[in-house]
């Protein structure tokens, strides 16, 4: 398994990506919003899932920046704050015209999981009186007129577990009929499909969907296509194919040995 992942990485093996209908749904949600819309991005994951989720989180960030959307970042996980910082670093380095407090803002981590979602559903300042840099929300241009979650046009949730997409669906998307899209781990993705399309507008499931999303963004925005940092998920699909083929091969081999042994035993 180690070699099946290491060798494609060293040889920079890559394959073409075709955007699937599910990924296209998520892409269209962000793309069809009027420029400058309010987008809440909640990064509910930690370094353990960074390999799978950070590429799609960064893709969401670049897409929102390309559309000029106002981005409100938060996290429900204690170790999620540095993940948000990576997106803010991307904005600062790749979109230097965007100004903190006018185009993007970060809120600190707050404990409580679904309680946080429930509270900001009615009153944002009850949970976040200050932003991450200690400035009052009433003093920031992009937050002074925001009362609660219902002032957001879209919620983007990148989730690795609990609290995560399920809680956003239960306490934000369903009660307030808010458009929500999710990027989640491979473990969680199949469980989110029942929520589509009424409660979740779309789901990006695992690294494959992240690669497709990067492809969709690259097709629409060629300037992002030429940025190597924006193709991280696509780079990881090379090792994925080899490792998946190995897995299928191992399953077939194991079963072949099992059936041959059973036949010999019967004989």
Q: Which of residues 215-254 bind another protein (CB under 8 A)?
A: 228-229, 232, 235-237, 239-241, 243-248, 250-254
Closer CB to another protein, residue 29 or residue 172? Answer: 172
* Sheet strands (E) in the chain: 38-44, 70-74, 104-106, 154-159, 180-184, 202-205
Residue at token pair 């707050």: 110
Residues touching another protein, count (CB under 8 A): 95
Contact flag: residue 142 with another protein (CB under 8 A): no
What minimum distance in Å lies between the beta carbon of 252 and another protein? 8
CB atoms within 10 A of CB 173: 25
Q: Residue 89 or residue 219: which is nearer to another protein going by CB?
A: 89
What φ, ψ does residue 154 adopt, rounded to 5°?
-145, 145
Pick from 73, 171, 213, 221 the residue near another protein by CB under 8 A. Answer: 171
CA 267 to mean position of chain CA atoms: 54
Nearer to another protein, 33 or 57 (CB): 57
Cβ 184 to another protein shortest distance, Å: 9
Q: Is 72 in the site for another protein (CB under 8 A)?
A: no
CB of 68 to another protein, least distance (A): 25
Site for another protein in 27-56 (CB under 8 A): 46-52
85-90, Cβ contacts within 8 angstroms, sequence gap of 24 or more:
86/54, 86/57, 86/58, 87/41, 87/43, 87/57, 87/58, 87/61, 90/58, 90/61, 90/62, 90/229
């Amino acid at each position: 398994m180690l070699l099946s992942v290491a060798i494609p990485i060293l040889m920079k093996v890559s394959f073409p990506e075709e955007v699937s209908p599910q990924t296209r749904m998520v892409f269209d949600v962000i793309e069809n919003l009027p420029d400058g819309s309010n987008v809440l991005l909640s990064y509910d994951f930690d370094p353990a899932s960074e390999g799978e989720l950070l590429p799609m989180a960064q893709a969401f960030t670049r897409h929102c920046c390309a559309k000029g959307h106002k981005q409100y970042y938060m996290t429900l996980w204690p170790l999620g704050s540095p993940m948000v910082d990576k997106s803010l670093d991307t904005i600062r380095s790749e979109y230097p015209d965007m100004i903190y407090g006018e185009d993007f803002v970060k809120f600190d981590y707050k404990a409580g999981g679904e309680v946080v979602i429930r509270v900001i559903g009615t009153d944002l300042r009850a949970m976040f009186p200050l932003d991450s840099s200690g400035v009052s929300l009433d003093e920031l241009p992009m937050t002074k007129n925001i009362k609660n979650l219902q002032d957001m046009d879209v919620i983007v949730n990148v989730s690795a577990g609990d609290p995560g997409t399920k809680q956003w669906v239960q306490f934000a998307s369903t009660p307030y009929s808010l458009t929500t899209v999710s990027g989640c781990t491979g473990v969680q993705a199949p469980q989110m499909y029942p929520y589509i399309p009424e409660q979740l507008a779309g789901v990006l499931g695992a690294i494959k969907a992240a690669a497709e999303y990067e492809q969709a963004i690259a097709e629409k925005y060629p300037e992002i296509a030429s940025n190597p940092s924006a193709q991280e998920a696509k780079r990881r699909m090379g090792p994925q194919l080899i490792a998946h083929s190995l897995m299928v091969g191992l399953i077939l081999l194991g079963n072949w040995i099992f059936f041959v042994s059973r036949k010999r035993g019967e004989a």
